[in-house]
Amino acid sequence: MMVTAGPLDELPGVRHGFFGRKGGVSDGIYASLNCGFGSDDSAALVAENRARAAGRLGVTAAQILTLYQTHSPDVTTVTEPWAPEAAPRGDALVTDRPGLALGLLTADCAPVLLADAAAGVVGAAHAGWRGALSGIVEATVAAMQALGATAEGTVAAIGPTIARRSYEVGPGFPQPFLDDDPESERFFVAGARAGHWHFDLAGYVAWRLARAGVARVALLPHDTCADAVQYFSYRRSCHNQEPDYGRNLSAICLVG
């Protein structure tokens, strides 16, 4: 299964996709399109799943590049492909090279795909709450600008993410967000349990994109935690006491 975001679909020379868990060869808790080599799934099955996703994007499996994600504000500028075992550490990718598909692996965090078609620059950012708070969105926009993009010319889409109704956080929230910007309070609502909150991660990421100057941001209305048929979810796997979880792939590339 692959879904796309309308604003990115409209851009010439840009191809993208948000992949769910259907259409692959893995089984059990990884059924079926698990694209994460970091899982305990068979590496051969993950490789086949990534090859299938690559085919939907019109690239080879070797052209889908993902990172060793660390919930950081670190961005890699991509000029050539690398082997999965040589993936750099970080949480965002940017490039101006056609044929290199920038990939993200998520299981509740927000996958953000960005493109300035006029400048010929694309980006992809993995935004969990830590990365979003530490500035991964702004760092990605800045890295795209270093390649010639403009914030006002950039279109962004936030793919399947855990929704606020599914995302309960504890007493450590929302203070770090309020310390960063008091306006962040709007993305938290009190939970049923004392000292707990529900956090709108996708809304927060969209707000950070807007603050970075990206005027056109699309949010896909999919809750990874609530939809076990279509998406992998770390939180749902924890609730179900499963030993591991699959990873959803999101990717974007320039078409040469």
Could you report the per-residue pLDDT of 191-206, keeping only the tens digit for each? 999 999 999 999 999 9
**CA-CA distances (angstroms) from residue 168 to 11, 31, 87, 178, 192?**
36, 26, 32, 17, 9
Partners of 34 in the β-ladder: none
Task: Kindly state the tokens that stand for 225.
Answer: 């935690």
Out of 3.60.140.10, 1.10.10.10, 2.60.40.10, 3.40.50.300, which CATH number does the structure's domain 2-162+217-254 have? Answer: 3.60.140.10
Task: Kindly state the tokens that stand for 145.
Answer: 């600008």
Write the DSSP assignment of 139-197 as a string of letters: HHHHHHHHTT--STT-EEEE-SB--GGG-EE-TT-SHHHHHH-GGGGGGEEE-SSTT-E
Q: What is the pLDDT of residue 41?
A: 98
Nearest alpha carbon to residue 150 among 176, 114, 186: 114
Q: Is the pLDDT of residue 1 over 90?
A: no
Could you report the per-residue pLDDT of 158-181, keeping only the tens digit for each? 999 999 999 999 999 999 999 999
Beta strands in the chain (DSSP E): 2-3, 14-19, 64-65, 75-77, 92-95, 101-106, 110-116, 121-127, 155-158, 168-169, 188-190, 197-199, 216-219, 248-254
Q: Is the pLDDT of residue 256 over 80?
A: no
- C-alpha of 66 from chain center: 11
Q: What is the pLDDT of residue 217?
A: 98
Q: What is the pLDDT of residue 166?
A: 98
Could you report the per-residue pLDDT of 39-59, keeping only the tens digit for each? 999 999 999 999 999 999 999
Helix, strand and coil content of the chain, in percent to the nearest 5, comes to: 30, 25, 45
- Tokens 């967000």 correspond to 177
Q: What is the pLDDT of residue 71?
A: 98
What predicted TM-score, i.e. pTM, was given to this entire model? 0.98
Could you tell me the pLDDT band of residue 254, with boundaries at 50, 70 and 90?
Answer: very high
109-126 mean pLDDT: 98
Burial class (CB in 10 A: 0-12, 13-18, 19+), 57: buried
Domain boundaries, the chain: 2-162+217-254
